[in-house]
Amino acid sequence: MDIIVGKNSGFCYGVKRAVENTENDLENACEKIYCLGEIVHNKEVVNELAKKGIQFIDSIFEADNTTIIRAHGVPKEVYKYAKENGIELRDYTCPNVLKIHKLVEKYADTGYTIVLFGSSEHPENVGTISFCGESYFVIENEKELYEAIEAINGGNINKVLVVSQTTFSLEKFYIFEEILKNELFKNIDLVIENTICKATEIRQKETEELSKNVDCMIIIGGKNSSNTRKLYDIASRYCANSICIETEKEIDDFNFRNFDKIGIMAGASTPQNSIDDVKEKLLDIIANIKSLEKSVK
């Protein structure tokens, strides 16, 4: 039985940067440090940082001291409030997210309506929306896309910028892009910027390829992680025996006896030790299976 771990599993650059900087801040802290929201969507990482002394808060209004901005970024109102109230911000927003903020603000200031692919409730998009001005659409599915197209074609809108959540499905992006090109009135100035993170693209493509060549796929990541869910969706499409877990404790009851090849991919917020723990657990299971088979013989 072979275990194949995807080369692009685990922390992406933005997450690694945010976590390492936060750990460094905690080591050198002389006072309480807050973090606005979970630093990343992974309970293991969040719990470890909490043990080291960081205090997670849901609103900037709860802060009275140094506050970390997580990898997902925050609405621009947070910066304004912090400045007005003397709160020092340590901004560890992913550089790719910051680029989107600047891009949509620039286009919104010149009269463009912003179309943002992704979930309106995702923390990254909550931040991005605050830079979009008054005319924008957040689109997660085709129903919402066609509703937006109807509103744009029927309204006084002649300039549209399309961007995406950094962890959006690459496949859905291309589908939505084609629909917009075909359905929007031709006199509308349509600018499309694929702002899906390169690491996300690579990870999704590797998940697809790996899923096609194994008997079982294990996706490791937080239950509330958008990019992890997308990896699981991709894996499920190409491998019937796909599971999504947060830790190695969740694979006890899964039967691996009939699998020759097991693939592992992990979300962008999954630490290396979680991946190692899952692999170790699988090796133990495989050893037990072999031991049982020998005793039967």
What are the tokens at 2? Answer: 């072979």
CA-based torsion, 122, 92, 206, 274: positive or negative: negative
d(CA 220, CA 143) in angstroms, rounded, equals 30
Phi, psi (degrees; rounded to nearest 5) at 219: -105, 125
Looking up tokens 């599915």 gives 141
Of 73, 68, 44, give the one whose Cα is nearest residue 56. 68
The verdict on whether 23 is a catalytic residue reads no
Q: Answer yes or no: are the C-beta atoms of 210 and 265 closer than 8 Å.
A: yes
Q: What is the DSSP string of 204-223?
A: HHHHHHHHTT-SEEEEES-T
Q: What are the residue ranges of helices labelled H in 93-220?
A: 95-109, 123-129, 142-154, 170-183, 198-211
Burial 133-166 (b: 16+ CB within 10 A, else e): bebbbbbbeeeebeebbeebeeeebeebbbbbbb
Q: Exactly one of 38, 124, 208, 246 is catalytic; which is it?
A: 124
Task: Give me the active site residues, please.
Answer: 124
